[in-house]
Amino acid sequence: MVLCMKEYKWATIGCGIIANQFAEAFASKGRKIYSVANRTHENVVKFANKYGIEKVYDEIDDVFSDDEVDIIYISTPHNTHIKYLEKALNAGKHVLCEKSITLNAGELERAVKLAEKNHLILAEAMTIYHMPIYSELHRRIENGEFGGLRLIQMNFGSYKEYDMNNRYFNRNLAGGALLEIGVYALSFVRYFMSSKPDQILTQVKFAPTGVDEQASILLKNKEEEMATVILSMNAKQPKRGTISFDKAYIEMFEYPRGDEAIITYTEDGHKEVVSFGNRNKALEYEIEDMEEAISKESNNMHLDYTIDVIDIMTSIRKDWGMTYPEEER
């Protein structure tokens, strides 16, 4: 007998670019988001009309008291996440929150404790953890096809308009390379490393606002697996990850929503192209995995990796002496 999984009702807080993509992912699955909340009511109404969403809230806080809502998706600026996370979890709602899930490890610890106390699923919307190619590569790595892991090299470079008022460089909106794009590279590293890195060295170049514009990070764990991460907000780089093993190295381009990898074998240099999944369905995979975690069919949300990555980023910023206004109160 096949059991039909409950169709959960989702609410979204935020109406930006990624929230639009999220609503489109629901449409691709023949579904609709149930309700929407946002700081600007006019934007809420436009968003609801665009995607056929049946319920809008006059105030953001109204979403937390709506008994119809099962899951809340949060895509507001990083520095607002924790207040919405705590309200949602206190109200008994499961939460999928955009990266970076919180500003720092202390905030995430508070949210995790609330989720555990109320028996709820809390997860970061990290596409890497849900693209099918990652689980396929992980399966083959676990089978020993490529030998032992030695090195990981990561690049992520954006070319953002050098305007200190836009959110990418705005300290009051938790801007900077680490929280905006570094979280992807470090999540990739943590996914493939055997354990959390415990040795970290960094260099940083600050923007005039005081946020990190450019950074290089070296990481090593107790198994002596190593990684390098190069980030830039004003210099374009390929979104490229290279994983080097004894018997082969694996290259992935556009890795945040990767669906193809090139494996080059050490012995004779021959290449194998592996394709799994579809990058255009990245957010659909997130939705499916979140609902399966809630229904207890399986849990591929990797909150443990999220905790490790936020802890690493918190440690790095502490070494830099870089804080956000919310952390200085």
Residue 202, amino acid = T
pLDDT score of 2: 42
DSSP string, 257-305: G--EEEEEETTT--EEEEE-S-GGGHHHHHHHHHHHHHTTS-----HHH
Residue 60, amino acid = I
pLDDT score of 329: 85
**Angstrom distance (rounded) from CA 175 to CA 165:** 10
* 212-220 vs 226-232, strand pairing mode: antiparallel
Give all domains of the chain, ordered by start, each with its CATH number: 10-126 (3.40.50.720), 129-278+302-328 (3.30.360.10)
- Determine phi and psi for 91, rounding to 5 degrees: -90, 5
Q: Which two tokens stand for residue 178?
A: 């680490």
- Strand-pairing partners, residue 234, are 159
pLDDT score of 5: 67
The sheet with strand 212-220 has its strands ordered as 199-206, 212-220, 226-232, 149-159, 234-245, 248-253, 260-265, 271-275
pLDDT score of 39: 93
User: Residue 253: how many CB atoms within 10 A of its CB?
Assistant: 14
pLDDT score of 94: 98
Q: What is the mean pLDDT of each run of 10 residues along the chain (329 residues)?
A: 72 97 98 97 96 97 98 97 98 98 98 98 98 98 98 97 94 97 98 98 98 98 98 97 98 98 97 98 98 95 98 98 96
